[in-house]
């Protein structure tokens, strides 16, 4: 996850996200207070609400004046965030993560069984909200959850494989990251009542932004400090997830040295050696070029949209992403 916040250029966003927060908490109330507590756990732990932010901004790209955000837009944002949270519940079980957002993870507190079921519960609530927004959004969100799973399974399939191709990497991040960001924007356009062409542009924007977002995230895993990341540098390497900078470094002069270190569990020393090798190639720069390619595509999608505070905020968020990877 990139380090800084995103859509701060949109002046109304903070207020809208405050409204969203209440709806988000209410959306997971269950008959059983015990389940409610578990389902609220990660919501209460906070989060930047990146995806609902994109939903809200996308809905507003034709607005020149400050008008209250529509309830359907907010509920669309809630559905998207619930999908994200539900998948985090399952991620943490799979990664045996103890901490998430500076709070003990759901699996750490209540065990794996409960965390799996509570993740299912959040996904179900997301689908229920999507259904209340019409069949198009219900179908779209379900398809997106499927794509998320596809992307993650594709990634799992290639863990610890230095032979992973860039194509397979891009296919995987398209599913696991770009898909939900793209849907966040599309749902914003749809619930905002925008024209079909505009909705499609927003969808493309979200996809390209999501691709850039994940590549930047993967660059940061290699170049940022543990302090900046909130987890060890090279965490993906340790988990056997070979991302774009790694794959590009494998193609460089130092590729065979790096290759010798990969394909197996890494101790801290080997991880540091691998990180050193990657950093001394041009792989990070080349990965950054790729992020820039997607960022340019994202901005191109915005170009035909009317200039407005929200459109400007989406532009600014895209630029901001690249600045993060450059610092």
* Tokens (6 digits) for 235: 């965490």
Q: How many residues bind a copy of itself (CB under 8 A)?
A: 44
User: Whole-angstrom Cα distance, residue 150 to residue 246?
Assistant: 22
Closer to a copy of itself by CB, 113 or 326: give it: 113
Q: Does 112 bind a copy of itself (CB under 8 A)?
A: yes
**Residue of 65, 67, 102, 135 interacting with a copy of itself (CB under 8 A):** 135
Of the candidate residues 15, 143, 197, 268, the single one contacting a copy of itself (CB under 8 A): 143
Interface residue with a copy of itself, options 13, 69, 106, 145 (CB under 8 A): 145
Shortest reach from residue 17's CB to a copy of itself, in Å: 25
Can you tell me which of 32, 166, 197, 285 binds a copy of itself, judged by CB under 8 A? Answer: 32
Binding test (CB under 8 A) with a copy of itself, winner from 128, 197, 282, 323: 128
Closer to a copy of itself by Cβ: residue 187 or 219: 187
Residue 39 or residue 305: which is nearer to a copy of itself going by CB?
39
246 close to 222: Cβ distance less than 8 angstroms: yes
CB of 326 to a copy of itself, least distance (A): 34
Among 3, 9, 19, 30, indicate the residue that binds a copy of itself (CB under 8 A).
30
The three-state secondary structure class of 59 is: helix
Q: How far is the CB of 141 from a copy of itself (least distance, A)?
A: 8
Token couple for 14: 């903070």
Q: CA–CA separation, 17 vs 49, rounded Å? A: 8
Report CA-CA distances (Å) from 299 to 291, 318, 321: 12, 7, 12
Specify the residue for token string 């179908």: 139
| Residues 77-106 as x/- pattern, contact with a copy of itself by CB under 8 A | ----------x--x--xx------------
Structural contact between residues 257 and 174, judged by C-beta atoms closer than 8 angstroms: no
Encoded tokens for 114: 């409960």
Contacting range for a copy of itself; rule: CB under 8 A; set: 41-49, 99-107, 139-147, 268-276: 139-147
Examine residue 308 and tell whether it contacts a copy of itself (CB under 8 A).
no
CB of 129 to a copy of itself, least distance (A): 8
- CA dist 24 and 119 (Å) reads 15
Of the ranges 9-17, 138-146, 180-188, 199-207, which one interacts with a copy of itself (CB under 8 A)? 138-146
- For residues 23 and 11, the answer to whether their CB atoms sit within 8 Å is no
26 binds a copy of itself (CB under 8 A): no
Continuous segment of H or E residues that includes residue 55 = helix 50-59
Asked if 1 is part of the footprint of a copy of itself (rule: CB under 8 A), the reply reads no
> In Å, how far are 7, 122, 180, 186, 316 from 66, measured between CA atoms?
16, 32, 27, 21, 19
Residue written as token pair 């998207």: 80
Q: Does 272 bind a copy of itself (CB under 8 A)?
A: no
Burial of 161-198, coded b for 16+ CB within 10 Å and e otherwise, reads ebebeeebbbebbbbbbbbbbbbbbbbbbbbbebeeeb
Q: Which of 24, 69, 106, 154 binds a copy of itself (CB under 8 A)?
A: 154
H, E, C per residue of 103-132:
EECHHHHHCHHHHHHHHHHHHHHHHHHHHH
Q: Which residues bind a copy of itself (CB under 8 A)?
A: 30-32, 34-35, 38, 87, 90, 93-94, 112-114, 116-121, 123-125, 127-128, 130-132, 134-135, 138-139, 141-143, 145-146, 148-150, 152-154, 156-157
């Amino acid at each position: 996850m990139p380090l800084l916040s995103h859509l701060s250029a949109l002046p109304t966003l903070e207020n809208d996200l405050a409204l969203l927060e209440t709806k988000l908490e209410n959306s997971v109330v269950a008959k059983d207070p015990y389940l409610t507590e578990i389902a609220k756990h990660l919501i209460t732990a906070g989060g930047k609400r990146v995806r609902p932010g994109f939903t809200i901004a996308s809905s507003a790209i034709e607005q020149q004046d400050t008008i209250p955000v529509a309830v359907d837009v907010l509920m669309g944002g809630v559905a998207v965030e619930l999908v994200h949270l539900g998948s985090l519940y399952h991620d943490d079980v799979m990664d045996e993560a103890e901490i998430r957002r500076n709070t003990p993870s759901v699996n750490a507190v209540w065990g794996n069984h409960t965390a799996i079921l509570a993740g299912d519960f959040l996904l179900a609530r997301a689908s229920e909200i999507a259904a209340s927004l019409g069949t198009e959004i219900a179908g779209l969100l379900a398809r997106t959850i499927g794509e998320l799973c596809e992307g993650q399974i594709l990634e799992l399939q290639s863990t610890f494989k230095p032979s992973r191709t860039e194509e397979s990497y891009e296919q995987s991040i398209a599913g696991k990251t770009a898909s939900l960001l793209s849907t966040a924007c599309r749902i914003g356009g749809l619930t905002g009542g925008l024209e079909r062409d505009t909705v499609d542009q927003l969808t493309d924007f979200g996809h390209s932004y999501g691709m850039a977002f994940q590549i930047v995230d993967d660059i940061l895993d290699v170049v940022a400090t543990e302090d900046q990341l909130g987890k060890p540098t090279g965490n993906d390497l340790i988990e056997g997830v070979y991302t774009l900078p790694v794959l590009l470094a494998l193609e460089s002069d130092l590729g065979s040295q790096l290759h010798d270190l990969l394909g197996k569990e890494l101790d801290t020393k080997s991880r540091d050696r691998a990180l050193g090798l990657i950093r001394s190639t041009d792989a990070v720069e080349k990965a950054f070029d790729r992020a820039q390619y997607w960022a340019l595509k994202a901005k191109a999608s915005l170009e035909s949209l009317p200039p407005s505070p929200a459109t400007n905020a989406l532009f600014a968020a895209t630029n901001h992403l690249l600045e993060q990877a450059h610092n």
